[in-house]
Amino acid sequence: MITKKKNYLQLANYIAIAIPFVCLLGGIYDLGFIYLAFLSLVITGLMQLIIAGIFWYQHPENNSIKIYLALVAFFFYMFIFVKAYDFYWIMPFALCIYLTSILRQKPFFNYNFH
């Protein structure tokens, strides 16, 4: 069962994902919007980290969110210390899709074992 709190997290995630695309569409009229779209990608990543933190606080037993946070830490480790720029453009999109799939998960078991 999806709770209302989870629905708010899904909505916030969708808004965070939509912001760069809306700014990019504004680039048709003015190139300044393209720069704003790149800046909003950073803001989107920050918003998704906050959303993931809230979700982890609400569902500490969920292993998928723990994997997501570990992958985010791995991304920053590779970017800062290893200077692995090859996957720099791929991994944020993959993390975005993965967080969205975590927020859309429905519990597989809805049984009361007592």
Residue 113 lies in a domain: no
Residue 109 lies in a domain: no
The predicted structure's pLDDT at residue 5: 55
**Higher pLDDT, residue 107 or 14:** 14
Domain count along the chain: 1
Residue 111 lies in a domain: no
Structure tokens at 55: 């979700």
| Least confident among 43-47, 77-81, 85-89, 110-114 | 110-114
Task: Write out the residue range of the structural domain in which residue 85 sits.
Answer: 4-104
Q: What is the pTM of this model?
A: 0.74
Give the model's confidence band at 109: pLDDT under 50 very low, under 70 low, under 90 confident, else very high.
very low
Q: In angstroms, rounded to a whole number, what is the distance separating the alpha carbons of residues 89 and 86?
A: 7
Give the model's confidence band at 113: pLDDT under 50 very low, under 70 low, under 90 confident, else very high.
very low
Q: What is the mean pLDDT of residues 97-112?
A: 69
Cα 32 to its chain centre, rounded Å, is 25
**Alpha-carbon torsion (5, 53, 67, 43), positive or negative:** positive
- In contact, 51 and 12? CB cutoff 8 Å: yes
For 27, other C-beta atoms within 10 Å of its C-beta total 14
Residue 112 lies in a domain: no
Residue 52 lies in a domain: yes
- In contact, 37 and 29? CB cutoff 8 Å: no
